[in-house]
Amino acid sequence: MVRERASLPEPSLSSKSGFLLLWTFNHLPDFVLTGERRDYWDPGEPQQPHDADEAEKSLSRSELLKKHQRVHTGEKSHCCSDCGKRFNSSLGLKIHQRIHTGEKSYGCDQCGKSFIRLQTLKSHQRIHTGEKPFGCDQCGKGFTQLNSLIVHQRTHTGEKPYGCNQCGKSFTTSSYLTIHKRTHTGEKPYSCNQCGKSFTQLNSLIVHQRTHTGEKPYVCDQCVKSFSTFGCLTKHQRTHTGQKPYSCDQCDKRFSDKRSLIKHQKLHEGVVS
């Protein structure tokens, strides 16, 4: 007489789910850290068709981990054939190479301006929408880009992390430091294609070129007078508002522009120009 095996109660759905979650947690490092797929099930079971897909996914995770680790190791295995600059990912290299090719794949649908990076396009589009998602928690001023907020916050903290190794002067941004260093080297990389005059800053060249073109893009909203620079417009607008933000520390006389203050201070020093 064959004795019937006592039937065990079927595991509940919750207990199955709990076992699966526990198994996944215990073996997650084998997928994330090594990128290898291991068979923890019965070796006698036939290989399932999806095993190859899972192995491919695990390999992708391994490649992503290696790419991330280069951030910590500083390894830059991808080199630009045009200028020799190195990058830690093929994507970084690809984006950089657009500087050489002039490719700008991302275009603004409102003004037609195009950009090398998608993120730069998104930041640009905030000029049209007026969106400023990054706000300063000290003064409430808003910015279209996170980097602009970080730089702004240094006006509150006084932080100047970029120091000149020749004179020790420090700056809030690396670009300001780069421009400053040209005062030591005498480098003027930006040249006017009409008169040949050279400048240390791109912005200085752009402003200079307006002397040739006659362009005056900054217009006063009160008298419609136009100016070649924003600074000149700001100075002009004080003739309407009466604002005089520059004061003499010796006699308290106030001025609408810094140049007038400096000229006035020379009177106290006995220097007449």
Domain(s) labelled CATH 3.30.160.60 in the chain stretch across 118-212, 218-269
pTM confidence score:
0.49
> Nearest-5° angle of CA 90, CA 96, CA 102?
130
Confirm if 77 and 67 have CB atoms less than 8 A apart. no
pLDDT value of residue 81: 85
pLDDT at 53: 55
Task: Compute CA distances 236 → 60, 89, 105, 230, 255, whole Å.
Answer: 60, 49, 40, 10, 13
- State residue 33's pLDDT score: 41
Conformation bin of residue 158: beta by default, left when phi > 0, alpha when psi is -120 to 50: left
Q: Which residues contact 67 (CB under 8 A, 6 or more apart)?
A: 88, 89
- Residue 182, pLDDT score: 95
What's the pLDDT score for residue 57? Answer: 55
Q: What share of the chain is helix, strand, coil (3-state, %, to 5)?
A: 45, 10, 45
What pLDDT is stored for residue 262 in this prediction? 92
Task: State the pLDDT at residue 181.
Answer: 95
- How far apart are the C-alpha atoms of 253 and 86, rounded to whole Å? 55
Per residue in 71-112, pLDDT tens?
Answer: 677 777 788 887 888 887 787 788 787 778 878 888 999 898
What string of pLDDT tens digits covers the 273 residues of the chain? 444 444 444 544 444 444 444 444 444 444 444 444 444 344 444 444 455 555 555 556 777 777 677 667 777 778 888 788 888 778 778 878 777 887 888 899 989 888 888 888 888 899 899 999 999 999 999 998 898 999 999 999 999 999 999 999 999 999 999 999 999 999 999 999 999 999 999 999 999 999 999 999 999 999 989 999 998 999 999 999 999 999 999 998 999 888 899 999 989 888 655
In the chain, what is the greatest distance between 2 CA atoms, to the nearest angstrom? 126
pLDDT of residue 59: 54
Q: CA 222 → CA 5, 202, 226, 233, distances in Å?
A: 97, 30, 11, 11
**What's the count of helices (H) and strands (E) in the chain, helices before strands?**
9, 14
Domain 218-269: state its class: alpha beta
Class (C level, CATH) for 118-212: alpha beta
Contact criterion met (CB below 8 Å) for 180 and 164 = yes
Kindly tell me the burial class for residue 272, based on how many C-beta atoms sit within 10 Å of its own C-beta (0-12, 13-18, 19 or more). Answer: exposed
- Give the single-character DSSP code of 256: S
